[in-house]
Structure 1
Amino acid sequence: MENLLMGLNIVTPVFFVLLLGYFAKKRGYIDNNFVDKGTWLVFYLALPFKLFYDIKSSRIESFHLKYVAYILLGIIFVIFISIVIAKSLRIKDKKKLSAFVHCAYRSNFVYVGFPILDIIYNGAPSMEHMIIIISFGLTLYNISAIILLTYYSESEEKRISIIDIAIKIIKNPMIISIIVGAIFNFLHIPVYQGVDKAIEMVSKISTPMSLILIGASLNFESSKSDFKLMFISAFIKTILAPAILIPIGVKLGFTNMELGIAFVFWATPCAANCFIFTKQMKSDYEFASKVITLSFIMSIITYPVGISLMNYFNLLH
């Protein structure tokens, strides 16, 4: 019971801020224009500044190739399992099938995982491992999403451009901020105190702002005909993936910090980016929106339970 209360104490602040965003949108204080502009602010300014500031100020002593392999192979495994399950469910609509798989593997790690880890580790999760997940894990998310949504597209033009994918990765503000932050860290480049303080101030808005924006984007209008598929996709994301991959991580001998970060990565609900990607690539974005919302609802229970189990087996600290 003590472990479960600890899990609830960790996730409650995050979901409380999410609900503030949701109710602000319902009451008309936030509209879609605010969400679009706020998303730009977080994605291009606040989060990159946070990553730069944290990485610049962190002690980065080594590069964990074993952890890189674990994260990348884990993502590929979840994608494979999701496709197998989708095929077994006989989803005939290619758009819905691609949205099902996309939502089942893509984690909202940056917008939701960061705040959770900040609370678990008192604002000091290992940046060495965070860098690995952001640089490699999120890059693979984008590559696999483009390939998946293009392959299952109903368009006659199904050409996958490696150059376009590479450009999108290189232009990603989070990747840029990681590289610049690592350069400043390794070369011990000083930053003028006034600028450093300004970067820190901007970085602090990333967590509450991103949670409010996600809350404002949630859609609780369900569809009974799709509920089974929605539930299974969200189940894979929030329950099946961590239930399989965390024990594998334990067997591989990872530290508690590595396992804690991995758990949040695997267990975090479906990313809001799934909606953006599916809409841009003409997949079933309405279905994706519903899976995102359902996975967040489920994670209100699965997060505290998962964190309490991790703490019970001494896998967090």
Structure 2
Amino acid sequence: MGNFLFSVNATMPVFFVMMLGVLFRRIGLIDEAFASGMNRFVFKIALPVSLFTQLCDVDFREVWDTGYVVFCFGITLLSVLVAVALSFVFRDKEVRGEFVQGSFRSSASLLGMTYIENIYGEATLGSLMMLGCVPLYNVMAVLVLSLMRPGSEGVDRKRLKAALKGIVTNPIIWGILLGFAWGMIGITLPNMVMKTTGYIGRLASPMGLLAMGAQLNFHSLGEKLPPVFLGTFMKLIGFTALFIPHAVFLGFRGEKLLAVLIMLGSASTVAGYIMAKNMGHEGTVSAGCVVLSTLLSSLTLTIWIWILRFQGLI
């Protein structure tokens, strides 16, 4: 019961803030221009700063585990490939890119670290998980959303070049790389700087959620339920059932195994919706995956945690 209450307390506020975005749009406090502006600010400033602050003070030399980072990277890549293969079951090509991203991209850096800290009191090894998967999340998201853009046919050199440019200039990737580099250097930022970046970083989640709620199109969502349902199933159940046994077989236990579970089975990240909107996609499938996976993750994660605890693995 305690695990369930914790999961509900961690996930339901995300849903409530999204619904406030819907309400604020209905009563005229947020319009389309304001919501789009919030999306751009979160994508270019708040989210990169948030990721930087989470990584910049981690002592990676002390906790480094090459095999663990490679494992997180490898199963993330395999998840992307499986999601791409599954996307071809949908005749509507415009939903494929968002379906792929909604299936594999977790909210590991937002909700996930909270779960780890609640159980173990700290999330140091969770930072290694983030290093193995979050940069790849963003690189693959840029590639998928660029190469599977609505109205595009095939892959040509121009679109591939644009996708690679998108990776190099992606502010979220830069936030991760700079945070890791700063953590490796080991220089502590002045307290006033950490507080300032902390304030800005904490804007990412609430602003992104409000903007998503304000831009959520329920009519379009009703027309695109199949990719939303399948994407949510793969996000919360499919990839976890596929890869957690491999993590157990390789000997990962405790915080490391919990971090893998969070990486595979936590809700789809708000950042996926923000990136989809900023890269020319409608955003309906992305928003649907975030809403549905957020609602259901309190139940599914509780079940996964109970199973692993019952087996004495975490």
- 2:48 counterpart residue number: 48
* Of 247, 256, 272, the match for 1:258: 256
CA 297–131 in structure 1, closer or farther in 2 if over 3 Å, else same: same
Shift in Å, 1:240 = 0.8
Percent identity between the aligned chains? 24
2:43, 2:271 within 8 Å by CA — same for their partners in 1? Answer: no
2:112, 2:262 within 8 Å by CA — same for their partners in 1? Answer: yes
1:70 pairs with 2:71:
yes
- 1:104 counterpart residue number: 103
Distance 1:300 1:11 in 2: 6
Distance 2:54 2:146 in 1: 29
Shift in Å, 1:243 = 1.9
Shift in Å, 1:266 = 1.8
- 2:265 counterpart residue number: 267
1:169 pairs with 2:167:
yes
CA 188–96 in structure 1, closer or farther in 2 if over 3 Å, else same: closer
**CA displacement 1:111-148 (0-9 Å, x = unmatched):** 5545555655556453233222222333233334434x
1:71, 1:137 within 8 Å by CA — same for their partners in 2? Answer: no
RMSD (CA atoms): 3.6
**CA displacement 1:9-30 (0-9 Å, x = unmatched):** 4334443434433433343323
**CA displacement 1:166-194 (0-9 Å, x = unmatched):** 43223222332333333433334353443
Which SS does the other structure have where 1:57 is aligned?
Answer: coil
Once the two structures are overlaid, the 10-residue window that deviates more, 4-13 or 269-278, is 269-278
1:246, 1:262 within 8 Å by CA — same for their partners in 2? Answer: yes
Distance 2:302 2:122 in 1: 19
- 2:240 counterpart residue number: 242
CA 40–102 in structure 1, closer or farther in 2 if over 3 Å, else same: closer
Distance 1:116 1:161 in 2: 39
TM-score by length of 1: 0.77
Shift in Å, 1:223 = 6.1
Distance 1:288 1:41 in 2: 19
Q: How is 1:23-34 mapped onto 2 (pairs within 5 angstroms)?
A: 23-34=23-34
2:70, 2:132 within 8 Å by CA — same for their partners in 1? Answer: no
Distance 1:25 1:118 in 2: 34
Distance 1:259 1:173 in 2: 29
* Of 203, 206, 210, the match for 1:205: 203
Q: How is 1:129-148 mapped onto 2 (pairs within 5 angstroms)?
A: 129-147=129-147
Which SS does the other structure have where 1:92 is aligned?
Answer: coil
Letter in 2 for 1:181: G
Distance 2:131 2:86 in 1: 31
1:15, 1:300 within 8 Å by CA — same for their partners in 2? Answer: no
1:306 pairs with 2:298:
no
CA 60–248 in structure 1, closer or farther in 2 if over 3 Å, else same: same
Show structure 2 runs of 5+ residues with no match.
none
The alignment of Structure 1 onto Structure 2 pairs a total of residues equal to 312
Distance 2:190 2:271 in 1: 35
CA 83–259 in structure 1, closer or farther in 2 if over 3 Å, else same: same
Distance 1:103 1:203 in 2: 23
Shift in Å, 1:265 = 2.2
Shift in Å, 1:242 = 1.5
Letter in 2 for 1:132: G
Q: How is 1:202-241 mapped onto 2 (pairs within 5 angstroms)?
A: 202-221=200-219, 226-241=224-239
Distance 2:200 2:280 in 1: 34
Letter in 2 for 1:47: L
- 2:157 counterpart residue number: 159
Which SS does the other structure have where 1:107 is aligned?
Answer: coil
